[in-house]
Chains A and B, each alone.
Chain A
Amino acid sequence: MPEAVSGQEPPAVELRDAVKRFGDAVVLDGLDLAVPAGQRLALIGPSGSGKSTVLRVIMGLERLDRGTLHIEGEEVPRALAGRRLSRAQRETERRLRRRLGMVFQHFHLFPHMTVLRNLTEAPVLVLGLARDEAAARARELLELVGLADKEDAYPAELSGGQKQRVAIARALALRPSILLFDEVTSALDPEVVGDVLAVLRQLAADQRSTMILVTHQMGFAEEVADRVAFLDEGRILEQGPPRQLFHEPREARTRTFLRRVLEAR
């Protein structure tokens, strides 16, 4: 797959011939995708086109039935059906996945922990940071997402938009080099979507990390993404710079999809 990768740096994420089936449904159908380091890629497409599955496969929440996944040039070990990974393979897998952070549509904050604890638990457990060190970093992140005053709150005491901003801060706490955003505004009330988008915009401006966003916010995708890929029936049908894809799409299906989405607003 021809990809304009600058220099010799391997893509941050690369899927080759990725196939994922759920029962009889083929969700990813030989999908190829390479995301250069530092790129902001928006994945768009009709529901059921496999957008979220792409993120879930990269994060290791779903196992590929065929194909390969490379993270920063290294292949992520994949267990064959009915087999388990060896200890060394599991170690490699964990090491590579540690470079990823993911934010979910439904936040998935830990409801039994305070906001601060939600942010410090992984750095302490996974990176071995001291509690206060992790807490100091967590406070910086809460500042970044505008929730510095909420560190002692429990998730149940927050609004949807606040929860999602905490979830973004939590994903950043491990300092991942690749960030995955899975429809992070879809479960939010319209009036708080703007707060979350503002945080994402700021991240896109400040951070050098690679970002892959599955989104229905076409305006946002156009504004923030370097590249947009249109998924249809488990493959990338068309991709390109946002201006080109949104305004001069080559494929009829892309045009149909964009028209429907814009009409729905």
Chain B
Amino acid sequence: MTFDVSFALEILPALLSALRVTVAATVAGSLLALVLGLVLAIVRRSPLVWLARAGSLIVEAVRSTPLLIQIYFLYYALPGLGLRLSPLATGVIALGLHYSSYAAEVYRAGIEAVPRGQWEAARALGFSTPATWRRVVLPQAIPPIVPALGNYGVAMFKDTPLLAAITVLELLQTAKIIGAERFRYLEPLTLVGLLFLALSLLASAGVRRLERRLVVRHA
């Protein structure tokens, strides 16, 4: 079986349009993970013990089960709860939820690296708790963890093919359909691999640039 370049060029537009779905799922999933992860990290430091425990339980449960199972679970469980979402929306929620538990751990590391004296100074100046988070703790906790968060974003991008399991027409699913129709898998799968490679490298370079800019600003 040899690589047919003209066939590859013929199917490229279809794959590029599927790539848009993959990228959209990654971006939306990442935003969800960033927000939810921060909420989880803050909740776990709540003085309300039950709330902090609930936060930890969610993080542990999500981290201890496979993403693919979570995707299937949400796909079949959400409609039972009266939430009828498209496969793509369900997939975004699954990715966001899954990666929020990792993001929560990263945020935690960043938050714990802020010296206790910063909290005390804020308290001595009469800052409310929300103001202390917004103005003092998070501006110091987040810049150092941007690279780690960015790497999880790249990892999420590479996990998007799992959404094929619930019929999302992302890159892999589209490639498989092309393969089934044309009885050729080499070209679509090779292109899928190359597209992932190209975008992952691009994203990693972006993360590194962002990292450098943050270092400069805080030097």
Contacts and interface: CB of A to CB of B under 8 A. Distances in A.
Contacts of A60: 123
Nearest to B219: A156
A100 B127 CA distance: 13
Contacts of A156: 219
A152 B135 CA distance: 18
Contact of A125 (B121, B131, B140): B131
A170 B125 contact: yes
Interface string A88-105: 000000100110111010
A59 interface: yes
Interface string A52-69: 000000011100000000
Interface residues of B, number: 20
Contacts of B198: none
A110 interface: yes
A94 B126 contact: yes
Contact of A104 (B120, B127, B131, B136): B120
Interface string A144-185: 000000000000100000000000001100100000000000
**Interface SS of B by simple majority:** helix
Contacts of A106: 117
Interface string B176-216: 00000000000000000000000000000000000000000
B118 interface: yes
B47 A125 contact: no
B159 to A, nearest CB: 33
A111 interface: yes
A94 B124 CA distance: 10
18 contacts: A59-B124, A61-B120, A61-B123, A84-B47, A84-B48, A94-B126, A97-B126, A102-B124, A104-B120, A104-B124, A108-B120, A108-B121, A110-B136, A110-B140, A111-B218, A125-B131, A126-B125, A171-B124
Given A59-B123, A61-B120, A126-B131, 19 more contacts: A59-B120, A61-B123, A84-B47, A101-B124, A104-B121, A104-B124, A106-B117, A108-B118, A108-B121, A111-B140, A112-B139, A112-B140, A121-B125, A122-B125, A125-B128, A125-B131, A125-B135, A126-B125, A126-B126
Interface of A: 59-61, 84, 94, 97-98, 100-102, 104, 106, 108-112, 121-122, 125-126, 156, 170-171, 174
3 cross-chain pairs, A with B, having the tightest CB-CB distances, nearest first: A108-B121, A108-B117, A122-B125
